[in-house]
Amino acid sequence: MTLAVNILLWAVVGGLAIFAASRGRFLLHEGIRVGIGEFLALLPRIGIGVVGAGFLAQAIPSEWISPWLGPQSGLLGIVVATVGGALTPGGPVVGFSIGAAALKSGAGAPQVIAYSTAWALYAIHRLVIWEVPMMPARIVWLRAAVSLPLPFMAAWLAMLLGKP
């Protein structure tokens, strides 16, 4: 499965490179330059996040994780994960590293899916720092309100589909 995803991602990159080249050599070179710059900037963050997730998974006793986020925690675990996702500050390296550490420590897949969905949809810090200053508050809170059931729906679908 991992190989198929890698091949698909490289095919997308190749397709985008061909598209950029068709629009001009400068666009292709600029895209490569910016892409390499972003890759080099993100590489240390990803490395730190992955290593940190490994340390976090070993540091947190699984006896703490299982009752709250384990596969048998049910709806309570999904609620705890959703609240945790909404309260987690930081970018993808932080959010996904915490999710990976929770999985390694015994959290259930539906609970981690609820956590990452809540983190992606309505992290409180992002609402307050980015969205409210840039858009009318009424629109931001309406967007957050209609997003509330989505982590629960994602967790429920994960339970229906079985272990990912």
For the record, the structure tokens of 164 come out as 């990912």
Backbone angle region of 90, left / alpha / beta, with phi > 0 → left and psi within -120 to 50 → alpha: left
Instruction: Give the whole-angstrom CA distance, residue 103 versus residue 100.
Output: 5
Instruction: Give the whole-angstrom CA distance, residue 94 versus residue 109.
Output: 18
Structural domain span for residue 154: 2-161
Q: Is residue 122 a contact partner of residue 114, using CB atoms and an 8 Å limit?
A: no
Question: How many domains in the chain?
Answer: 1
Task: Record the pTM.
Answer: 0.73
pLDDT in tens, 100-138: 888 888 899 999 999 999 999 988 888 888 888 999 989
pLDDT in tens, 40-71: 998 888 888 778 777 777 777 777 888 889 88
What pLDDT band is residue 2 in, cutting at 50, 70 and 90?
confident
For the record, the structure tokens of 157 come out as 């679908």
